[in-house]
Structure 1
Amino acid sequence: MHESELTLKATPPRIPRTAIERARLQAYWNDAHERTALAVVAPAGFGKTTLLLQWRRRWLAHGARVAWLTADDHDDPVRFAEALLQSIREASGRQSSASAQARSTGFDALTELLGDIAQQGVETVLMIDDAERLPKATLRGPVHYLLLNAPANLHLVFGSRLALQLPVAELTAKGNFATLSADALRLRLEESIELLEKRLPQLGVDERAHLHDITEGWPLGLQLAIAAIEHAPDQAAELQVLSARHGTIQEYFVESLLAQLSPALADFLTRIAILDRMSADLCAAVTGDANAAELLDQLAKETPIVMVAEGRDSMRLHALARDFLLARFEHLPKAEQVELHTRAAHWFAGCERFHEAAGHALAAGDRVQAQAFAARSLWTLSTSGNYAEAREWIAHIPAKMMANDLDLRLAVASILALGDRSEYALEIARQAIADPGTPPLSLAVALRVAAGAAAYSDRVGMMRDLTARWPEDVAQAEPLHAVSRLNTGALAALHDGATSEVRERVAQALHHGSDGSLRLAAAFGQMLLGFSHVWDGDVCLAEVVVRPALAKAERERHRRSMVPSLLASVLAAAVFERDQPAAAQALLANRLDVIERSGFPDNVLLAYRTLAYLALSQNDERRALNVLKNLEAVAERRQLPRLQAHALAEQVRIHALHGRHETVAALLQALEGMAAEFDRDDRQPLIAEYRLMLAIARTHAALAKRDLDDADQHLAEADALAARLHRGRAALTVMVLRAVVARQRGSDEAMPLLQEAMGLARIAGCTRLLPDTHPLAVEMASDMTLPPESPPMPPPAKAPAQIVMPVRNGLLTCKEAEILNLLGKGMSNKLIARTLDVSGETVKWHLKNLFLKLSAASRKHAVDRARLLGLVQ
């Protein structure tokens, strides 16, 4: 090989100008960079090379020597050894004694090279990009040899499109080999938003989230989308017509995807583009290709467009790629299109997946068969939470078909219950409930529909009665109805202030499982659990409950579907309380319309309150008031007086803090005039909540006028109501306002009250308690933390640099404390040994003792445990 070729293979490429530092991936480097080997494995377009270049820069900053090698198909063992020696030589700036032997025998050269690296004692990293191109003989020979014989100061990093065929099970078991997959490289929503904020500043947060949803976190897909719209005069308008059927994105798929696939594989892709989710059996049935499993496996390994997930149908096409391929499908002969859809319809019907069968039957032009399948699909769609799709199918079902079929009417009603036709759904359910001839199972379905419609329309006064009327035999025999009954009772308990009963009922419901027909009901239970913790004011627990439920829902459904959106409204409220505004905003981005349309009143309320407080935290009062006005409009449209009352109460607070007395008086009058709305039997349980928000609003109005006696009177009422309803967050607000009143009176009780409120808020994670209650409370807290006035101390004399570590209760020896401190700084064992002038074995011995004393499983775990115990700063 010519020296110029070797030089090019050993020269790392330039980091792209648009590359961003992804803190999550850099944190992974912090945890894993001391391992013998790391592999970054993902299809094209996931940023493997960029990540390796960023890691290279970090290793260099830590004083390591970093060699780079771009692999290719011609790297047989000898050629690979030559290239490797050139890479090491360029990284170290010195000639290796092994270089003369490289041509004669690769292994002898590698042995001598490894000896050189070990003898020099310098942290050395070898990065091999495009490693999937290495011949099998090279992987099983020199590469495997390097892995087995690498000295402690050598690390190997591979960038590869495919998992490397290397025997690394033992290395992995010992924690010396780690793999970063495509899922880890996929952009998270917050990362996409950060990148788009820089590249497409005209877009709002919702539009950035929409672009993330379209590209599904595929880094190259996002870059292609940015390139397609960044020079448009109206980026938002261009986003609405973004398509993979023309322009930059189409060119990529033509040049970088189809051009690299065989004609047979390209044709296979085109024909399976009609499938939303796929399995090998389904693809074989539709295309008639017996090798479908092998083709899918090849596509998943070699292209970025086949997404692999959990579940029965574990594969699907990336949305952009599917859009592009559907354009090609539409150019197939019409008869072939019909045949492919017909095959798909028959396959799905055979599996009793009637909603998918209906879609393909309709696409094949068989309207009668599509109607029959659609009618049989509604119950499954309603129990799985696919309400948007179900509503579309209802329009295809003839009225005559529903007129004589009670179960079909109830299935339709179960879907309409959570939407703008909830009143119609409730009427269907009431008719079935009132009819003594309704079979027990149909009666249970009718009660479930009535509960859903009542919850959607905030008629929580109906819940206890509905729970009591559930047929006991059906509830015991059918898990779905048992869970629905428990959830209905939990919602009633929530608004009665019995949050412990909510948790007890949800715990019982979860014993029945969370898959199949229970998926939606279980998700609702988790949501109610989150509500109960938010009510109690314990947002830390709310996050612990809801975050994994949301992650599961997002894996199973699209981000903008109903269940993830409703769970996101609860989690957003919790993380905002913990003073994570960007995370809260990202959770709600491009979801508010779904929450408005399909959410229960409490979901809508939490989402809008979070957005209003978020705007205020950014000093954007106008936006906050607009959000509250929009909440009023939603409340009026959906006839939800409780939400309208909350919107008015929040506006009272905002205007009162600015001393706008006439505006406050008008808003307060409107709020007080709503009392009659809660006198109805079906809204009677909400009256205490109404009185609570009214008392707090009156307190703000009284504080604005400095009428402290009036404020005290309203706070006393609010305190009693908050305790009765278990509204822990409202109770903390009342305590802070009592401290504010006491401060304005000049009372000594002010600071102790505020300190108590802050202590309780800290336990619950309510970091934003003071700024979201009253600015005077923030000022008081600031005064409380000021150090006492005293004459300035002279600067201390400079002492020699030394490591100082607290040793708590004699838990750690001085040497263990020193090592723990250096671990916290990210030092390797070798660097620790050099710093403390001890041997590497001594460091290992002390680390073993540290792990035992701290019950830690890793270096990072040890540092985290030490911080928790106050052993490290």
Structure 2
Amino acid sequence: MNEAFVYESHLEAGHRHPRAAPARAQSDALAMRRLHGTPPASLYVDEVLCRERPASGARIHPCLARAWQMLVRLRAAEALLIAQRIEQQVGSLPGPVAAAVRCEIAAVRAVSLLLQDDAGAALAAALSALRLDAATPVAHVALTVCRCVYWRLGDPESFYAVQRREPGEQPGRLRAITTMVDLALDAAIEFGQMHFNAARLLADDALELARRFGTGPAAIDALPACVMAQVLYEEGRVDESEALVAARLPGIRQGGTIDGALRAYGLLARIAANRRRPGQGLLLLAEADALGTQRNWPRLRAASLAQQVEMHVAAARIDQAALCAQRLAVLSGQCGAASSSARFEIARYHVLAQARLALARASSHVSAAVDLAALRQLHCDTALRRDRYGAVTIALLLVEALLVAGLRDEAIEALVALLKQAATVGLHQTLVDCSERVSNLIDGIVQGAIAPVGDVRELLPYAGALMSRRRRGTADAQPARDPTRSISAMGLSERERAIIGLMGRGLTNKQIAIRLRIAPETVKSHVKRLYTKLSVRNRIEAVTLASRLGLVRLSGSVVD
């Protein structure tokens, strides 16, 4: 049931809009129409209140409008405070009106709690909103919250069981946002199952929707952008992957979501490690740790500390790795109050960090036993959550742990199984980035020095290509930035290249028009096409991406 039909039903039931409403009420109604596209429940509530209790309506409706605006801006704490204040006024309202207000308050609370990474409480609030009125115009918000929580919980059956609401031909801003989030969640699910082509298509649709409807701050589309970037990274297109995420990092710092922050910081740090820039990666991870502390996101802190352990181990800084692992152990011990999804993630990062530290100590001839049982259980649990991509990282660690434990045959068997799976789905960069122990094992299979049980001839070309890419090293793995090649890949014309270059030097559209001797409207048209081709939404994102692709060299300031 769409929003317009619900609203018309209210009117047919006798709730006609008064002929004349106060100027402020009309202004608020217009603002909400821009947000929702069609009149939401709060607008209907305001109509009744304006007729029956004008004083209460004048207070409640603007508050509901502000709560939704705060959520669009990802300011969850402020939205929660507004919802709490409204709730204190509900008792004095007529029965049907009070029910409608409570339903919308529950939806506001569900989104706010989700943004604060309290999945359990967010799910309870969303289900409460649906129980109060499943046909409410904001029911699509509650449904999207349910899908997001089930995704975080690793419960795909419940995720797919949630009914999705189609946005209609002209969705409002709020409906466009929930549709974009739904597409992003589908993309993340597909990526986790290593259906990379499907993930790319869904993420691209989500980004296109965000561009078309201007769905809010730049950070709000960070999740689909990061999923797309992860697909690009696995294909070895590291520059494009980095540019897509880096353009959204300022928005994530200012007020993004935890899912966007987790993927953005993790991927950028991984890219820094790939390019042999551990200092840059550690700075990013320290920033993520600080952001997690500031916003009370223990999952982000745990992910940051686990990746710091990995980077310190790679650089043979065992003492620093041990300090990070110790901090992660303390954090893991304090996560009892966190939601079940957060507890699982934090425990996962703890197990991975402990395993990496034990393997590093074994390399340094320090007595350290890797907890094989914990790794096996974690691999099993992750696979049960249908996170096949996450299970790959654990499988690589498990192969290494088996080698250190002297279980060489089992390690080879596990590696061959992983290579077969990776070759089928097109997994690439993760295996190129593997540890020296695993790399030597793969190389031994390719060279024929190691003979696994069974026929592995069909794997040899793929495994050989991985080792060839790894041997070429970071410098050759990424071809030199050739502007002509990049322009061809992105579909930019020479005129568009000239315009993006001048944008990078800080020139406005009017200044570019004067420089190129063309009309300002022509420049505006070229800029719009540039945004579409580069998959960006504004001048800053376009220049950031173009500079990282080598299309422009930044000088001066970038202006809007």
State whether TM-score is above 0.5: yes
The aligned amino acid for 1:584 is: S
Distance 1:586 1:685, change over 3 A: closer
How far the C-alpha of 1:605 sits from its partner, in A, is: 0.8
Q: Is the 8 A contact 1:740 1:750 kept in 2?
A: yes
Q: Which residue of 1 aligns with 2:299?
A: 642
Structure 2 gaps, min length 5 = 1-21, 38-54, 451-560
Matches within 5 A, 1:72-151: none
Q: Which residue of 2 aligns with 1:582?
A: 239
**1:701 and 2:352 equivalent?**
no
How far the C-alpha of 1:473 sits from its partner, in A, is: 6.6
Q: Which residue of 2 aligns with 1:727?
A: 387
Matches within 5 A, 1:12-411: 375-383=28-36, 404-411=58-65
Q: Which residue of 2 aligns with 1:824?
A: none
Distance 1:473 1:558, change over 3 A: closer
How far the C-alpha of 1:451 sits from its partner, in A, is: 1.6
Q: Is the 8 A contact 2:223 2:263 kept in 1?
A: no
How far the C-alpha of 1:421 sits from its partner, in A, is: 4.2
Distance 1:571 1:510, change over 3 A: farther
Q: Is the 8 A contact 2:176 2:215 kept in 1?
A: no
Q: Is the 8 A contact 1:632 1:647 kept in 2?
A: yes
How far the C-alpha of 1:611 sits from its partner, in A, is: 0.7
**1:714 and 2:342 equivalent?**
no
Q: Which residue of 2 aligns with 1:688?
A: 344
Deviation per residue, 1:389-441 (Å, 9 max, x gap): xxxxxxxxxxxx99942121122112223557422311322454574546333
Q: Which residue of 1 aligns with 2:171?
A: 516
Q: Which residue of 2 aligns with 1:463?
A: 122
**1:550 and 2:210 equivalent?**
no
Q: Is the 8 A contact 1:636 1:644 kept in 2?
A: yes
Q: Is the 8 A contact 1:688 1:721 kept in 2?
A: no
Distance 1:511 1:641, change over 3 A: same
Distance 1:670 1:534 in 2: 30
Distance 1:558 1:462 in 2: 25
The aligned amino acid for 2:402 is: A
The aligned amino acid for 1:727 is: D
Q: Which has the higher contact order (CA 8 A, sep 6+)?
A: 2
Distance 1:640 1:734, change over 3 A: same
**1:427 and 2:81 equivalent?**
yes
The aligned amino acid for 2:277 is: D
Q: Is the 8 A contact 2:107 2:126 kept in 1?
A: no
Q: Which residue of 1 aligns with 2:107?
A: 448
Distance 2:150 2:215 in 1: 31
Identify the match of residue 71 of structure 2 among 410, 417, 420.
417
Q: Is the 8 A contact 1:440 1:471 kept in 2?
A: no
**1:599 and 2:256 equivalent?**
yes
Distance 1:598 1:764 in 2: 35
Q: Percentage identity across aligned positions?
A: 20
Deviation per residue, 1:153-179 (Å, 9 max, x gap): xxxxxxxxxxxxxxxxxxxxxxxxxxx
Q: Which residue of 2 aligns with 1:774?
A: 435
How far the C-alpha of 1:644 sits from its partner, in A, is: 0.8
Distance 1:429 1:661, change over 3 A: same
The aligned amino acid for 1:688 is: F
How far the C-alpha of 1:757 sits from its partner, in A, is: 1.1
Q: Which residue of 2 aligns with 1:668?
A: 325
How far the C-alpha of 1:724 sits from its partner, in A, is: 4.3
How far the C-alpha of 1:559 sits from its partner, in A, is: 10
Q: Which residue of 1 aligns with 2:156?
A: 499
Q: Which residue of 1 aligns with 2:526?
A: none
Q: Is the 8 A contact 2:210 2:221 kept in 1?
A: yes
Q: Which residue of 2 aligns with 1:620?
A: 277
Structure 1 gaps, min length 5 = 1-367, 385-400, 790-873
Q: Which residue of 1 aligns with 2:507?
A: none
Deviation per residue, 1:133-164 (Å, 9 max, x gap): xxxxxxxxxxxxxxxxxxxxxxxxxxxxxxxx
Which region of structure 1 is more displaced relative to structure 2, 583-592 or 532-541? 532-541
Q: Which residue of 1 aligns with 2:498?
A: none
Distance 1:560 1:406, change over 3 A: closer
How far the C-alpha of 1:678 sits from its partner, in A, is: 2.5
State the secondary structure of the residue aligned to 1:619: coil
State the secondary structure of the residue aligned to 2:135: helix
The aligned amino acid for 2:306 is: A
Distance 1:765 1:414 in 2: 41
TM-score of the two chains, using structure 1 as the length reference:
0.43
Distance 1:620 1:514 in 2: 47
Q: Is the 8 A contact 2:126 2:145 kept in 1?
A: yes
Greater share of residues in helix: 2
Distance 2:118 2:427 in 1: 30
**1:489 and 2:146 equivalent?**
yes
Q: Which structure has the larger Rg? A: 1
Deviation per residue, 1:707-737 (Å, 9 max, x gap): 5742424313422432343332221212111
Q: Is the 8 A contact 2:130 2:142 kept in 1?
A: no
How far the C-alpha of 1:514 sits from its partner, in A, is: 6.8
How far the C-alpha of 1:558 sits from its partner, in A, is: 8.7
Distance 1:471 1:432 in 2: 19
Distance 2:228 2:306 in 1: 23
Q: Count how many residue pairs are aligned between Structure 1 and Structure 2.
A: 400
C-alpha RMSD of the superposition: 3.0
The aligned amino acid for 1:687 is: R
Distance 1:599 1:374, change over 3 A: farther
Distance 1:625 1:382 in 2: 40
Q: Is the 8 A contact 2:104 2:129 kept in 1?
A: no
Distance 1:655 1:448, change over 3 A: same
Distance 1:605 1:402 in 2: 42
The aligned amino acid for 2:68 is: S
Deviation per residue, 1:192-230 (Å, 9 max, x gap): xxxxxxxxxxxxxxxxxxxxxxxxxxxxxxxxxxxxxxx
Distance 1:683 1:431 in 2: 26
The aligned amino acid for 1:748 is: D
Distance 2:266 2:169 in 1: 30
Q: Is the 8 A contact 2:310 2:356 kept in 1?
A: yes
Distance 1:703 1:515 in 2: 56
TM-score of the two chains, using structure 2 as the length reference:
0.65
Distance 1:511 1:554, change over 3 A: closer
State the secondary structure of the residue aligned to 1:489: helix
State the secondary structure of the residue aligned to 1:769: helix
Distance 1:477 1:781, change over 3 A: same
Distance 1:535 1:581 in 2: 19
How far the C-alpha of 1:671 sits from its partner, in A, is: 0.5
Distance 2:65 2:334 in 1: 31
Identify the match of residue 398 of structure 2 among 729, 738, 747.
738
The aligned amino acid for 1:530 is: A
How far the C-alpha of 1:786 sits from its partner, in A, is: 2.4
Distance 2:123 2:209 in 1: 30
